Amino acid sequence: MIRLLLIVLVALLIGTALSLGLQYDLGYIRISLGNYLVETNFWVGLFVLAALVALILVTVALIRRLGRSTGFVTGWLARGNERRARRRTTQGLLALAEGNWPRARKLLEASAGHADTPLINYLAAAQAAFESGDHEAVDTLLRRAFESTPGSDMAVGITQAQLQLAGNRLEQALATLIRLRKQAPHHPFVLKLLKNTYLRLEDWRELSRLLPELRKRDLIDQGEAAELERTTWHNLLQKAADDCKRQSTETSASLEPLTSLWDQLPGSMRRDEYTIRDYARLLAELGDEAQAETLLRKVLRNHWSDELINLYGRVKGLKPDEQLLTAEQWLKDRPNNAELLLALGRLSLRNELWGKAREYFETSLRLRRSRETMAELSRLNAHMGEEEASARLLMQGLVKDSGLPDLPMPRA
């Protein structure tokens, strides 16, 4: 109330002052502009000037209000686009889950520009394009994904490598993963993908270098690690043996690639019976049965293995008689080992001890019915002139292994 009274009082004072001022002639205002001349009373000029100032102030106010109104409209439109983008993104992801690849790609790609997370849209759209078989579009969408989100190189690269592997583009996948590993040398998923890539490329040398890192990071369990390492070195040993054969001359073969690789094996593999068996077998195949016999003898003294004793009975050492005596010493501790008895029968044959060989084969066969032992005994009987016994033994083995039913037969 007091404020209103003050405003009325001030207005009355200003009105009184103006009415008093108008009674006096304060002159006139002349404005010359080119060929035009404007003359007016001072009070009229003052009124016009005040009107111009008021007009300018009103115009500025209108412009500001219009700007605020435009911002509101723009924001409202932007929020509408974001809502539609979220809805289409959800629809696109549902279509992707349902296997509707064309629809999924269309929705995800179209809504990526206004989506909260365009990276997700582009990566999912790339997956849909891959499933549709459009590999060129995959690369384009992955590039857009990278450009849409700073710092997304690793996520985009891993997705790209996975799609390349799924599409059997192994060389491209390897190049992508090597680049990613340079950026993050110990990234667990990159290392796992590298392992799968090397396996599919059969790049055993690189896989052997990667295995220690996989073990160190506990990225594979112990059972898988042991099997993978065994497979890796088995293939590397075979490759080295093939290199030896290619380098061989008409008189001799160089074992350097194979023996050099054996020296590079980790300690766990040099103690693995299957790897030792592979190495000894390859040595024997390349003509160095003596070295194979020496290796097998040393291993069997400290670590028994039926796999290795079987091979020991097949190779020819420098002194076959001593080789037989060594195996017979082992028989004292393992009198009922069928594999050892089979090996002793073969070593007896190598020393031309026919009767002893047959005795060993028969004892082994009583302990375990083995086709291998049966074949050895049958062959020995045939060469000793006992064709009937040999044929009967072969017939028994054939009937047994074929699983024939028990049926009546005519008497001979």
Cα distances from 199 to residues 164, 218, 262, in angstroms, run 15, 18, 21
Residue 192 included in any domain: no
Rounded to whole angstroms, how far apart are CA atoms 202 and 232?
9
- Going 75 to 76 to 81 to 86, the CA torsion angle's sign is positive
In three-state secondary structure terms, 195 is helix
What CATH number should be reported for the domain holding residue 350?
1.25.40.10
With tokens 């050895």, the residue in question is: 376
Q: Which of 129, 149, 169 is the last residue of a domain?
A: 149
Closest to 327 in 3D by CA, of 18, 63, 390, 337: 337
Residue 164 maps to a domain? no
Number of compact structural domains in the chain: 2
Query: Quick one: tokens of 10?
Result: 């001030």
Q: How confident is the model at residue 383, as a pLDDT?
A: 75
Tell me, what's the pLDDT at 187?
93
The whole-number pLDDT of residue 403 equals 60
**Residue 154 domain flag:** no
pLDDT of residue 294: 95
Cα(131)–Cα(127) distance, integer angstroms? 6
Q: What is the value of pTM for the model shown?
A: 0.71
> Is 321 a domain residue?
no
User: Cα separation of 283 and 289, whole Å?
Assistant: 6
The residue from 95, 126, 149 where one domain ends is 149
The answer to whether residue 287 sits within a structural domain is no
Write out the residue range of the structural domain in which residue 380 sits.
336-401
pLDDT at 24: 54
Contact of 342 with 308, CB cutoff 8 Å: no
Q: Per the structure block, which two tokens stand in for 382? A: 């045939």
Q: Please give the chain's pLDDT, 412 residues, in tens.
A: 676 666 656 656 655 655 555 555 555 566 666 666 666 665 566 666 667 777 787 787 777 776 565 554 445 444 556 678 778 888 888 888 888 988 988 888 888 777 778 888 888 889 899 888 888 888 898 898 888 888 889 999 999 999 999 999 999 999 999 999 999 999 999 999 999 999 999 999 999 999 999 999 999 998 899 999 999 999 999 999 998 888 765 445 578 899 999 999 998 899 999 999 999 999 999 989 999 999 999 999 999 999 999 999 999 999 999 999 999 999 999 999 999 999 999 999 999 999 999 999 999 989 998 888 888 888 888 777 776 766 676 666 655 665 656 656 576 5
| CB-based contacts of 133, cutoff 8 Å, min separation 6 | none
Q: Token pair 């004892």 is at which residue?
A: 363
Output the six-digit token pair for 294: 């020496």
* Residue 145 belongs to a domain: yes
**CB–CB of 379/391 below 8 Å?**
no
Q: How far is CA 267 from CA 260, 272, 375, 387, 403, in A?
A: 14, 9, 37, 50, 45
The count of other CB atoms within 10 Å of the CB of residue 97 is 10
Answer with the one of 97, 115, 149 that is the final residue of a domain.
149
For residue 235, give both structure tokens.
């293939």
Rounded Cα distance between 41 and 53, Å, is 18
Both tokens of 173, joined, read: 């996948």
Q: Could you give the angle at the alpha carbon of 371 between the alpha carbons of 367 and 374, nearest 5°?
A: 70
| Residue 371, in any domain of the structure | yes
Q: What are the tokens at 138?
A: 């995959």
Task: Report which DSSP code applies to 406.
Answer: -
- Residue at 347 is within a domain: yes
